[in-house]
Structure 1
C-alpha cells in the first residue's frame, strides 16, 4: 500500500510539475505577446505622433501658401488698376496730341493764307507802282 501511495504521490507530483510547466509556458507566451503588443502599440503611437506632426507642418505650409496667394492676388489687382489708370492717361495724352496736331495744322493753314494774301498785296502794290511810274 505504501508503494501505491508513493506511486500515486509521484504521479501527482509529475502531473503537478506538468501543469506548472504548462502554466509557466503559457504565462511566458502571454508575457511575450503582451510585450509585443505594448511594443507595437508604442510604435503605432510614435508613428501616429509623427504623422500628426507632418500634417501640422503641411497645414502651416498650406496656410503660408494661401496667405502668399492672397497677397499675390492683391498685388495683381493693384497692378491691374495701375495699368488701367496708365491706359486712361495715355488715351488723354493721345487726345491732346491730336488736338495739338489739329491746332498746328490750323496754324499752318492760316500762315499759308497770310502768305498768299501778302503775296497778293505785294503783287497788287507792284502793279500800282508800275502804273504810277508808267
Structure 2
C-alpha cells in the first residue's frame, strides 16, 4: 500500500541519513502521504462487497417503485449512477509520488556524494603517505652522504 511504502521509504532514508551524518545534524522530515481512493465511484467499492450481496445493493426490492425524488433532482453532485470526479485525488497522489521520487533521488545523491568523499579522502591519505615515504628516503640519502 502507498502508506506502507512511504513509511518504509522514510525508515530507509532515516537510517541512511543517520549512518552518513554526525549525531548533531537534524533528522530528515518525513514525506506526507495522502490516502488514495479505492474506487472511482461513490458508495461501496465493488471489491469490498461480497459477491452474494452485490445484487441486493443494485436491485430494488419487489414491490418498490424506483423513481427520483424532487429533492434528489435539485441536489447537484454525484449519485450511485454517476462517477465521482477524482482528478483532485489523482493529482494529490501524483504529487505525492513525485515528492517521494524526489526525496529518493536526494537520498541517492547524498549517498553517492558521501561515497565520493570517502574515496577522495582515501586517495589523499595515500598521497600523503607516499609523500612522507619520499621525504624519508630523501633524508636517508642525505644522511648517508
Structure with greater helix percent: 1
Specify which structure has the bigger relative contact order, considering alpha-carbon pairs within 8 angstroms and separated by 6 or more residues.
Answer: 2
Query: Which one has a bigger Cα radius of gyration?
Result: 1
